[in-house]
Amino acid sequence: MKVLSVFGTRPEAIKMCPLIKEMDKHEEIQNVVCLTGQHKEMLQQVIDIFGIEVAYNLNIMRPQQTLTTITTSVLERLESVLMQEKPDIVLVHGDTSTSFAAALAAFYQQIPVGHVEAGLRTYDKYSPFPEEMNRSLTGKIAELHFAPTENNRKNLANENIHKNVFVTGNTVIDAFHTTVKDGYVYKDKGIRDIDFSGKRCILMTAHRRENLGEPLRNICRAVRQIVEKFSDVEVVYPVHMNPAVRNTAEEILKNIDRVHLVDPLDVEDMHNLMARSFLVMTDSGGLQEEAPACGVPVLVLRTETERPEAVAAGTVKVVGVEEQNIFENASVLLTDVAEYEKMAKAINPYGDGHASKRIAEAILEWKVVG
Ligand code: UD1
Ligand code: UDP
């Protein structure tokens, strides 16, 4: 059975590589990997660490690319790969423009699509933008749906998607189990050089399109307030390569004491730093899944989340994008031990580290049943 996996951004790669490695264990599966190259350096970092074999790279990334150019480049360049490979199934992941365009390209060739990380929803078309629509449309096209949680399965059921839905856990936890190690030594010199002794580390990331501009400025200003008030806090902010993110981060946070703006960390450094942090502040999806697994509280720098499971469990709180609200929520966790302890509990709503195994088995079973 030939499985063509198509992905193109950092988070897709982190979440697809464990599955590709798992499928490699099955003789019945012939794995072919096609990168769209929606990301470049940030994608290559992940591929290098997991060491997976790449058959195609469509190399679509352009500086400040638009949603239209991503979508059309994937559609155009994937066509010949699909025609040449004629896979039995195309696997896509999540909610990026790569995911949607690759699913659409497969649909045009009448090739079944398997959607990994299916069923996440905010039901707000414009938030997150364009991810909510990307994942809904991909769900419409897909034949197989790998839902991380029961809640995700219910979302699909509400849209009348009942067939071939598998609740598997999230493969990000599979990845996390392979990267976090005792006695880990950071590869990044900037991180190695930070003296964390007697300090509390806040790990932050922010990159979402809907946060670009004023919301991201508010976030950065809140971070500035936090380090001014708490002298034992070191903030590490691995800055996304998007110039629209970099410019704002540097404009407000460059040369601020105890704020470390660093280049994107490779996934091993990132996961190990996260596991040793006091607090995570982020608008990323993946971090909302990973941090709860290691008992690190998360403040979500967004107005909504498609990942309500950890919010319900009390380890994640959505705090919006207003400066004062972010500052106050972080201040509570930095001063009130009881409030901190309430949030700092390790939970695993997103899986037990065996999601890839379940997905690979479901794909094989589907092939047998036809
Ligand atoms: C994309 C996804 C988003 C996902 C995020 C993960 C879409 C529309 N957005 O958003 O869902 O959460 O990836 O990070 O699919 N760049 C580089 N090198 C890189 C990567 C990016 O220089 O390795 C720069 C380029 O100038 C590029 C810009 O960042 O044009 C934006 O990248 P893009 O993939 O369009 O958007 P993201 O914000 O990364
Ligand atoms: N990540 C990383 N290095 C970084 C920042 C993030 O390896 O400098 C990892 C992070 O641990 C998570 C994933 O990248 O696994 C999240 O990707 P991103 O924030 O780009 O996208 P999102 O999850 O929001 O789609």
CA 182 centroid distance within chain: 24
Quick: pLDDT tens for 190-199. 999 999 999 9
**What spacing in Å lies between the alpha carbon of 208 and ligand 2's midpoint?**
11
pLDDT for the residue 300: 98
DSSP 211: G
Instruction: State if residue 8 touches ligand 2 by the CB under 6 angstroms criterion.
Output: no
- Give the closest ligand to the alpha carbon of residue 171: 2
Instruction: State if residue 150 touches ligand 1 by the CB under 6 angstroms criterion.
Output: no
* Mean pLDDT across the chain: 97
Told to judge if 240 belongs to the known catalytic residues of this protein, a careful annotator would answer: yes
Write down all domains in the chain, each with its CATH number in brackets: 2-170+352-369 (3.40.50.2000), 189-344 (3.40.50.2000)
pLDDT for the residue 346: 84
List Cβ neighbours of 20 (8 Å cut-off, separation of 6 or more): 5, 31, 33, 50, 52
pLDDT at 64 over 90: no
Quick: pLDDT tens for 118-144. 999 999 999 999 999 999 999 999 999
Instruction: State if residue 168 touches ligand 1 by the CB under 6 angstroms criterion.
Output: no
CA–CA distances in Å: residue 264 to residues 120, 205, 227, 269: 26, 10, 21, 10
pLDDT for the residue 25: 97
Q: DSSP string covering 17-32, please?
A: HHHHHHHHT-TT-EEE
pLDDT at 368 over 80: no
CB atoms inside a 10 Å sphere around CB 140 = 12
pLDDT mean over 72-94:
98
Closest residue (by CA) to atom 14 of ligand 2? 11
- Give the closest ligand to the alpha carbon of residue 71: 1
pLDDT mean over 222-233:
98
Quick: pLDDT tens for 146-170. 999 999 999 999 999 999 999 999 9
**What spacing in Å lies between the alpha carbon of 121 and ligand 2's midpoint?**
19
pLDDT for the residue 354: 98
If residue 251 lies in a helix (H) or strand (E), which one and from where to where? helix 243-253
Closest residue (by CA) to atom 4 of ligand 1? 96
pTM: 0.98
Strands 2-7 and 30-35: parallel
pLDDT band at 367 (very low <50, low <70, confident <90, very high): confident
pLDDT mean over 195-213:
96
pLDDT at 116 over 90: yes
pLDDT for the residue 342: 95
pLDDT band at 348 (very low <50, low <70, confident <90, very high): confident
Instruction: State if residue 352 touches ligand 1 by the CB under 6 angstroms criterion.
Output: no
Nearest to 95 by CA among 33, 148, 157, 24: 148
Quick: pLDDT tens for 29-47. 999 999 999 999 999 999 9
Atom of ligand 2 nearest to the CA of 288: 23
- Which of residues 69 and 347 earns the better pLDDT score? 69
Told to judge if 95 belongs to the known catalytic residues of this protein, a careful annotator would answer: yes
